[in-house]
Amino acid sequence: MQQKIRENMEVIGADGVHVGTVDHIEDNRIKLKKTDNSGMHSNHHHYIELGFVADIEGNKVRLSANADVAVTLEEEASGRPVDL
């Protein structure tokens, strides 16, 4: 499934709500574009483990968790959880 994920694809939760936009795949994680982050997180990327990808639907990457849960699973470049 990893090879089907491309730059600028929308990342959505299981509920169809926008989570982010793919920048690219880095190691075993989706690197999200900075433009999807706000506040103190607006100047850097967040990452989501590929293990949370449930399906690819056209130009969308659907995660196995709803969007409100998926954002709590995001990581910093170091692999540490994002401070919410």
Q: Is the residue at 34 inside a domain?
A: yes
Q: Is the residue at 81 inside a domain?
A: no
The count of other CB atoms within 10 Å of the CB of residue 16 is 11
Q: Is the residue at 79 inside a domain?
A: no
Domain count, the chain: 1
Find the domain containing 24 and state its range. Answer: 2-73
pLDDT at 71: 86
The count of other CB atoms within 10 Å of the CB of residue 8 is 10
Q: Is the residue at 62 inside a domain?
A: yes
Task: Tell how strand 60-63 and strand 10-12 pair up.
Answer: parallel
The domain that contains 20 carries what CATH number? 2.30.30.240
Q: Is the residue at 30 inside a domain?
A: yes
Please report, in tens digits, the pLDDT of each residue of the chain (84 residues total).
788 999 999 999 999 999 999 999 999 999 999 876 544 445 678 999 999 999 999 999 999 999 999 988 888 888 877 776
Q: Is the residue at 80 inside a domain?
A: no
Q: What is the pTM of this model?
A: 0.87
